[in-house]
Amino acid sequence: MDYKISQQKPVEAITDALLIPVFKKEGIENLPLPKRLRTLIAEIAYASGDFDGKKQEVYTIPITGAVPKARRIVLIGLGEREKYDLSALRNAMAATAKSLKKYAVESIALLTRAALLPARNWNRFAQTVVEGFELGSYKFDLYKSKEDEEEEKKKELKSIFFLRVPPQRNTEVEDGVQTGKVLSEATSYTRNLCNQPPNVVNPEKLAEEAEALSANLELDCEIIEQSEMEKMGMNALLGVAKGSKQPPKLIVLKYFRGTRDEKPIALVGKGVTFDSGGISLKPGKNMDEMKYDMSGGAVVLGTMMAIAMLKLPINIVGVVPAVENLPDGNATKPGDILRAMSGKTIEVLNTDAEGRLILADALTYVQKEYKPEIIVDLATLTGAVVVALGNAAAGLMGNNEELKKELQKAGQACGERLWPLPLYDEYKEQIKSDIADIKNIGGGPAGVTVGGAFLSHFIAECAWAHIDIAGVAWTTKDTPLAPKGATGFGVRLLGEWLKNRMAQKK
Ligand code: BES
Ligand code: ZN
Ligand code: ZN
């Protein structure tokens, strides 16, 4: 989709749809439109009681006369002004994109005004509009036979014009558009990886994807194969992979565009391309959903893609341990003890708590090889985080308050919320094993933080945050921004966080 600024007057814009966002109960009295047009809208939409500006309400009025020149007027509800924020704007734009699908709309024009800028910032406004349109139009149809392709194409939206942007704000709008496009593309890329079936997206495919990214963007890719993992003593990771015929891959993507002396930030993502539970087999119901157990890894790939496209001046290394967790004759059994790369021994009491095992070695590896300043890991680690926070926020843990605050702030701003959970010593106690250093389950309550506490055993002296995305990486119902399936949660969050860090440095 193309986003441009247009100097045309709203009534003169030759477009398939003139979009007019409005707040609830405020009507259209103060909008920069000719009186005749306002009266027309008031009579058709408001007096009839058909429309009042509720959030995500979209109301289309076909136009046949000469004024305005648009073929349709589309009123977009933003809800109450007091509650209006970037998420409300993004969701409203997403609802509009969906609603316009039923018409043959190729170009649309959006009537902007200062009141629509929640952050008082044109850059942010433009970014959010783009994210709403792009993510709201996302669909996953790679595996649907395309019968009506021609028909579909006809309806495709091609250009969006921003009307009434103050000329001195043009560059801000253009920058915002660019950021919004990159973050949406990277989010959709991540969604596509998670939505694809597990017979396609296996560890090898994830590694190929990383290589493809490095071929197209300024990223370096290194794939660490099983034999090397063996040499390095990554027995926790290998222990999970053992139950599958698919060999594990440790994917490393490098982006070094910061200064030479600057230690990198490490992003680590759980890449279990299918989690059957292993010998501690999961129940059959909804087991198919466990294809999204590589969401953390897909977010790392998507974020690396976004960073490289935005050309941020930063040093980043992305690490994805990719494995399948299956119950083969050779699989790790409950009771087995594995010696992790760090030297710690782990008693595996439940083979379904596999994410922490692969992350343990990935965390050790990245610290040893890259001495990062900060590590952020993302993982669909526990069912317990879904119990604690549902689908409304991801669980945030870590060893550094400032880092957690930065991440939480970024999440609040972009609508991918994080909620902090503690890592008390008691949780670390819970995973002490009788016969090994630690065990991979606590056996008691507080499953989310026990998962976090386990990972903390593999962090040496680095600032670290762990984000449990099990509840937010997937949606079982259509939401304004994502249809059923993968959400890509985390790409916009990390993009926002890293951009904020860049801005602070300046
Ligand atoms: N991949 C799951 C966690 C998960 C659950 C992700 C639901 C998405 C939705 C993870 O590997 C797992 O199975 N965790 C266990 C841990 C338990 C055995 C300590 C869990 O949450 O039940
Ligand atoms: Zn599991
Ligand atoms: Zn898992």
On the question of pLDDT at 506 being above 80, the answer is no
Q: What's the CA-to-centroid distance between 262 and ligand 2, angstroms? A: 36
Tokens of 11: 């009534």
Q: What's the CA-to-centroid distance between 340 and ligand 1, angstroms? A: 20
**Of the residues 9, 38, 71, 282, which is catalytic?**
282
Of 161, 52, 164, 66, the C-alpha closest to 117 is 164
Go through 299-325 and write b for each residue having 16 or more CB atoms within 10 A of its CB, e for each that does not: bbbbbbbbbbbbebebbbbbbbbbbbb
pLDDT digits (tens, 9 = 90+) for 192-215: 999 999 999 999 999 999 999 999
pLDDT digits (tens, 9 = 90+) for 302-316: 999 999 999 999 999
pTM of the predicted model, to two decimals? Answer: 0.97
Give the mutation target among 382, 385, 431, 438 for probing the ligand 1 site: most ligand atoms within 8 A of CB: 382
Measured in degrees and rounded to the nearest 5, phi and psi for residue 72 equal -145, 150
**96 alpha-carbon distance from chain centroid:** 21
Q: 50 and 108 in contact (C-beta within 8 Å)?
A: no
pLDDT grade for 154, boundaries at 50, 70 and 90: low
Q: 465 and 406 in contact (C-beta within 8 Å)?
A: no
Three-class secondary structure of residue 442 per DSSP = coil
- Percent above pLDDT 70 for the chain: 98
Question: Which letter does DSSP use for residue 247 in this model?
Answer: P
Tokens of 362: 């990935």
Which pLDDT score is estimated for 152? 62
- Percent above pLDDT 90 for the chain: 93
Helices (H), 137-225: 149-154, 170-195, 203-216
On the question of pLDDT at 11 being above 80, the answer is yes
CA atoms in the 13 A half-sphere facing the CB of 480:
18
Which pLDDT score is estimated for 282? 98
Integer-rounded Cα Rg, in Å, for the chain is 25
On the question of pLDDT at 140 being above 70, the answer is yes
**Of the residues 356, 404, 428, 499, which is catalytic?**
356
Q: Of all residues in the chain, what percent are helix, strand and coil, respectively (each to 5)? A: 40, 20, 40
Give residue ranges with CB within 6 A of ligand 1: 275, 293, 350, 352-355, 380-384, 386, 441, 447, 470
How far apart are alpha carbons 275 and 256 in whole angstroms? 33
Of 149, 237, 451, 202, the C-alpha closest to 443 is 451
pLDDT grade for 149, boundaries at 50, 70 and 90: low
Q: To 10 degrees, what angle do helices 355-370 and 447-456 make?
A: 30
Which pLDDT score is estimated for 233? 98
Show the beta-strand stretches assigned E in 371-458. 374-379, 394-398, 418-420, 438-439
On the question of pLDDT at 148 being above 70, the answer is no
Which pLDDT score is estimated for 440? 98
Q: What's the CA-to-centroid distance between 452 and ligand 1, angstroms? A: 13
Stretch 372-376: mean pLDDT, rounded?
A: 98
Mean confidence (pLDDT) of the chain: 96
Q: Atom of ligand 1 at shortest distance to CA of 292?
A: 8
On the question of pLDDT at 241 being above 80, the answer is yes
Three-class secondary structure of residue 4 per DSSP = strand
Q: What's the CA-to-centroid distance between 353 and ligand 1, angstroms? A: 6
The yes-or-no answer on residue 164 being catalytic is no
Q: 315 and 263 in contact (C-beta within 8 Å)?
A: yes
Q: 427 and 442 in contact (C-beta within 8 Å)?
A: yes
Specify the range with the lowest mean pLDDT, choosing from 31-45, 145-159, 273-287, 345-359. Answer: 145-159
On the question of pLDDT at 119 being above 90, the answer is no
Stretch 8-16: mean pLDDT, rounded?
A: 94
The yes-or-no answer on residue 339 being catalytic is no
Which residue has its alpha carbon closest to ligand 1 atom 3? 382
Which residue has its alpha carbon closest to ligand 1 atom 7? 383
pLDDT digits (tens, 9 = 90+) for 72-87: 999 999 999 999 999 9
Q: Is beta strand 107-111 parallel, antiparallel or unpaired with respect to 159-163? A: parallel
Stretch 2-6: mean pLDDT, rounded?
A: 97
How far from each other are the two terminal CA atoms of the chain, in whole angstroms?
Answer: 32
Positive or negative: CA dihedral 422, 424, 428, 431: negative
